[in-house]
Structure formats: structure tokens, C-alpha cells
Amino acid sequence: MDQIVQDILSDRVRVSGGITAMTLTGDGRLRWTDGPQRSLTLEKQVLGFVVEGNKIRIRAVVDGRDEICCGGSAGSIVRKDFVFEPLSEDSKRLWCEKLRDFIDSFGRPKRLYIFVNPFGGKKIASKIFLDDVKPLLEDANIQFTVQETTQQLHAKEIVKGLDLSKYDGIVCVSGDGILVEVVNGLLEREDWNDAIKVPLGVVPAGTGNGMIKSLLDLVGEPCKASNAILAVIRGHKRLLDVTTILQGLVADIDIESEKYRWMGSARIDFYALQRILYLRQYNGRVSFVPAPGFENHGEPSTYSEQNICNPIPSQQQPIKILQQGYQGPDVDLKNLEWRIINGPFVAVWLHNVPWGSENTMAAPDAKFSDGYLDLIIIKVCPKLALLSLLSNLNKGGHVKSPYVAYLKVKAFILEPGALTQEPNREGIIDCDGEVLARGKGTYQCDQKSLMSYDKLQITVDQGLATLFSPV
């Protein structure tokens, strides 16, 4: 038996000069009887409202496919106002009260701290903020503080000292790198256990944008700034496992292609083709604790803490031991069932979300908070096979290649080696496009890195961070 939905408020109002019946239903729909658009869903379409004299102006968004004649397009979101006039002062007051109560019941953020990275991708983050983000936040009556980043780790340092009680979330108008900085900054605070619960949002303005692509892809929405900031405004949240690490061919492509940054995301494809023609292979080994169902990968091994390096160069301690803040997951690595795969490799990639960039579904089975990392190993293969493999990255088809090992792991150790063809040259380790370590003979290897090109241990904390999400 269908449940009967009770109306919250129903009254006659003036719309476009005529008198019509208007109703706010118990399931959050605003309905009226006259005009081409006769209803709005408060949760999905209504951002906020303002009172203008005797009138109430509803700030909303509608599907661009319904507004093509007004500048919309398929998959886009169009801002649109709807104005109605209650017939008395008491009616106006009641409409404002009921609308506000219903919108507040969604738990939407009211105050946001926003990082804008003007140097990422095509260097248009500031324009994206002004054109796409700011107007929607203002429509939703959300207060915000904006901070442009000026250098690497700027966001991290700000977050470490930020008064989080003033904000309901932090938003990064950038690629994935600033998000990583924010997470690291939260985890280095003394109050990290509370700080890491602050919801985080991402608006695509970098080269890769893998995190927000993964979030919007959940509901089939395009990876656009307007869709991304609406996910923040609506206030839905989901947990996120931490961490992602990249190394090998894909890392080299990401970092070394910086010289072609003016090309935007196309630089990745351009440089990847160059690299396939001059293919690099790396020695090394990976050790891992497989998730259930993946125990047949690799050979049995044991865990050893010896020479596990720390991401902070000044500390010669295991990776999980920090001077303050977050101390790492509480897991007994010695008593887990470890396995090992030896190189040479073309690439080693760890992921905890499906998309590595807007056009690269690196880990099609990855989940945001399943407690596992998806490990992708590209083994030595012919150049044509590698070209075919990489051409399937946009749909995740590369994991079906016989030259790819794809599995889920609970813990991971990378022991990076040198190039098989040039023993005096090594590789690059990066995290979401930000360099962690540069080996000998690599691109800009004279620059200071966060850690050394050496043995690296990675563990995963299930659901440690919180993201604003479309669902």
C-alpha cells in the first residue's frame, strides 16, 4: 500500500501576473498549476531563495536539456529563477518559514573554505571559480572564504593552522594534488581525529581530476564544475579510504609531460605516445597483502621493516610513525600473509577510486571506502601490445590484458629499481601528480623531493576521510 504524502503548505499565490494554487508537498516538491514549469524538487533543484518586497524569488537549477533554447545543452546545468507572490504578509512569512525549514533539513553546508589553484591544468581555476562556482554558492546563500595557492604545499600549511570550527567543509578548485595536500594537512594536526572528519569537495580545474570524475560518474553526470559544486551544495557525503601512490611509466608521463602543460589533458596522451616509442622498463619488486580472492597473485613472502623509508626526509623511522598528529593505521603487518611480485615492470599503479583522470579509468573495480587499494601492474610487453592496452584506459579495458595484473591489496611495499636498459637511471614516484621522489637521472632530479627514491610502504585506512558526494 502506497504511503500518503501530506502537504506541508498549500495556498493561492500570484505567478506571472495570474493567481494560481501552489503547494509544498511532504516529499519536498514545490508545485503550482500555471506556467511551462509547474514543479521543482527542493533537494535536487532548489538552491535557496530571497525575499524581494512582496515576492519570493526561488534560486534553482534545471537540466540543460530542458533549456536548450535558453543556452543550455545536453548534460549541462542551467541556473533559473522562479518568482511568486503570496497574497498576504502572513502567507509570505509562512512560505519563507516552511521553505527554510525544509532546505535546512538537508544538512547542507553554510560556510566553506575554498582553495583555488591558479597554476593547475590550463591555469583557469580562478575563472572557473568566478564563472561556475561563485554564482551557485551565492544562490545557495553559502558564505565562503577563498584562498589562492601560491606554491606547492601552501594548502597543506594553511589547513594545519585553520580554525575548522568556522567552516562546514573545505573545497578545492583544482586537480587532485591540492586535495592530497588538504588531507595531509588535516592529518598532521594535533586534533587530526576530528579534523579529518571535515567534508572535502573538489571542483575540476586541474589536468587529471580523477577524484571528482569518479564521484560524478557514480550518477552518470559529466565532469563539470557546475555539477561538482552542486554536489557540495546539496551536502551528501561519503567516506574515502586513504592513500593513492603512483610509480613507473604513468608517473613518468604525468610528471615529465609538464613541459607540455599548455596542451591541458592532451599532453598526457601526446607524451604517452612518445614514451611508448622509447619504452622504459624498471627493475624492482612489490610486496603486498592480498584481499580475499586475490591470494593466487605472486609468491609467498614475509614482512620486514628494514629500510622502510619515511615520507618526511628528516625522520629515519617507519612510515607510520610521525612526530605529531595521525600515527597510521593500527595493523600488525608482521602477522599478515604477504606475497611478492618481482620486476621488471613497465608501470606500478595504486588506486582507491576508479578514475585516474577524466579520460583514464585506471581501476574499474575500485571503491571509495572498501578498505583496499587497487593494484595495477603492467608487465614487460611488446610496444604494440602496450599501445593497445593504453588505448583501453578510457573504459578500464586494460585490466583484461594478459600483460596486466589487477588485484586488491590491504598493504603494499614498493622497492623501486633502476631502468633495465640504463642501470644508472631510476624512475619517479608520485601521488596524484605531485612528486614524492625522483630517482637518479630523471626529469628535474636535481629538485628537492618529499622523500627518497627507496623502499616505500603503503597501508590503507578504511573510510578515514569524508567527501562531499552527489549521492
Q: Which sequence positions are flagged as catalytic?
A: 176
Distance between CA 324 and CA 1 in Å, rounded? 57
Q: For the chain, what percentages of helix, strand and coil (3-state, to nearest 5) are there?
A: 25, 30, 40
Distance between CA 261 and CA 219 in Å, rounded? 30
Distance between CA 361 and CA 344 in Å, rounded? 24
The residue whose grid cell reads 609531460 is 257
**φ, ψ dihedrals at 379, nearest 5°:** -85, 170
How many angstroms from the chain centroid is the CA of residue 270? 24
The residue whose grid cell reads 587499494 is 373
21 SS3 class:
strand
132 SS3 class:
helix
The residue type of 391 is S
The residue whose grid cell reads 611488446 is 382
Query: Residues 418, 386: contact at Cβ < 8 Å?
Result: no
Query: Residues 61, 79: contact at Cβ < 8 Å?
Result: yes
Distance between CA 153 and CA 183 in Å, rounded? 11
Distance between CA 406 and CA 231 in Å, rounded? 31
Query: Residues 429, 246: contact at Cβ < 8 Å?
Result: yes
* Rg (alpha carbons) of the chain, rounded to whole number: 25
> DSSP assignment of 389-444, as one string?
HHHTTTTTGGGGSTTEEEEEEEEEEEEEEEESS-TT---EEEETTEEEEE-TTSTT
The residue type of 40 is L
Q: What is the dihedral of CA 147, 150, 153, 159, to 10 degrees?
A: -20
How many angstroms from the chain centroid is the CA of residue 155? 16
Distance between CA 6 and CA 23 in Å, rounded? 11
Question: In sequence order, which residues have a C-beta less than 8 Å from that of residue 83 and are 6 or more positions away?
Answer: 15, 52, 55, 56, 57, 58
Q: What is the DSSP letter of 167?
A: -
408 closest CA partner among 246, 303, 268, 291: 291
